[in-house]
Homo-oligomer: A and B are copies of this chain.
């Protein structure tokens, strides 16, 4: 049968597929930093060229930010929309990398080979699992088993400012029977998973200004208000002593977890001590009355992602600074309105400003949570296909990360999304020494071949 031939072709072509991924990983397509804009263009060009090599009509499409890559291939069967992103997180702190982040390589490890480099797992390696599955299908059968639209974004790591306008302008072109999103992971690094619950994300930056210039803390200390003191007080107030977020109305409208879902999650036997132990921690830090999987998947959070003020170089400087700032993000769940919470957070901050201080806010994006219905037949077909490829049967799970694209596909295109990915928990995405297991890459490609076959 042709699926076996496709799977064999995938196995044979792994060295070439790996070399192609390494090429893409060498491009430092950091979307959040304007200094890397040309590299984002280069990554998009590379993908256009690679899709064209597969005989797919692909092109780079300009946006006010980094370009989209869109490619179409005709076919029978259902129309699939495949999404991935070619942009990556900044690589700092550079001194913690054991090799240059954009000089990727295959490395042996006691747990098997890994592909090491920024973006290996998030999301270039994942994106390429689907492209390589299509390549093998085409090589063996001369065509793809479904009509497919490829859609790659270059702003996922920087709030996707161009995404919604682009979807709205190209709704007819992009609408499909089902969307496939490859930006998630295996559950507990071993169970293939289809994510059916995603948290949203609200990003805010606040800058507190006190005096109109940096002051000498000896001349002014004790009399002049220090904006770091004000910022620390505000950020400290964000959580109460039970780990709950203290912004008024923050939990309004959040439904309790469905009993069936709660039972399924209990069956996953999540080992939170091991999960935290891998990163040097032991104690759940969220709401004291929630289970660890709820903290990660179905309960909202507030986190400070960055803070800066005063002198932070070597040595000491007795400065009383004019400004202090923080980047704060909220992971949102079903029932929470991002824009209402943005306003509530800003009011929470203003309520804590002493009369001498002012605050400026920068909007770093807002997206609501998504909850998918698993009633559509494609979900069960994909779950069976994944279960055939991997040692353990596939599960429906939640994800603490924010992948707003699923909500946008639903709301703008009317297309339901299946989120399937092969990352592992120790991939160190967004961290130094990011990697993607060769097993993830290899079985990921084979998984997509099986899913394409099942959906055709």
Contacts and interface: CB of A to CB of B under 8 A. Distances in A.
A328 to B, nearest CB: 10
B425 A272 contact: no
A432 interface: yes
A123 to B, nearest CB: 12
Interface string A11-39: 00000000000000000000011100000
A455 B395 CA distance: 90
Interface string A366-400: 00000000000000000000000000000000011
A340 to B, nearest CB: 20
Given A275-B223, A279-B212, A356-B285, A218 B199 contact: yes
A30 to B, nearest CB: 9
A295 B400 contact: no
A159 interface: yes
Given A303-B226, A317-B430, A400 B220 contact: yes
Contacts of A400: 218-223
A434 B281 CA distance: 46
A311 B301 CA distance: 18
Contact of A211 (B158, B219, B281): B281
Contact of A310 (B299, B321, B327): B327
A90 B313 contact: yes
Interface centre among A221, A238, A281, A329 (most CB of B within 10 A): A221
A232 interface: yes
Nearest to A324: B307
Contacts of A233: 236
A430 B304 CA distance: 29
A201 interface: yes
Contact of A229 (B32, B304, B402): B304
A210 interface: yes
Contacts of A324: 307
A315 B221 contact: no
Given A217-B329, A431-B214, A312 B320 contact: no
A32 B325 CA distance: 24
A306 B309 CA distance: 5
Contacts of A355: 282-283
A167 interface: no
A214 B327 CA distance: 15
Interface string A281-308: 1111111000010011001110111111
A428 interface: yes
A278 to B, nearest CB: 9
A331 B221 contact: yes
A212 B280 contact: yes
Nearest to A159: B316
Contacts of A203: 316, 318
Interface in A326-373: 326-327, 329, 331, 354-356, 364-365
B310 A306 contact: yes
Given A218-B401, A225-B285, A307-B312, 14 more contacts: A32-B315, A32-B317, A34-B314, A203-B318, A212-B279, A222-B286, A222-B301, A229-B303, A229-B304, A231-B232, A283-B356, A285-B356, A303-B318, A306-B309
Q: Which 4 A-B pairs have the closest CB atoms?
A: A218-B401, A32-B315, A212-B280, A236-B236
9 contacts: A159-B316, A213-B280, A216-B401, A220-B400, A223-B286, A223-B296, A283-B354, A304-B309, A305-B311
Interface of A: 32-34, 89-90, 92-93, 96, 157-159, 199, 201, 203, 205, 210-226, 228-229, 231-233, 235-239, 272, 275-276, 279-287, 292, 295-296, 299-301, 303-321, 324-327, 329, 331, 354-356, 364-365, 399-402, 425, 428-432
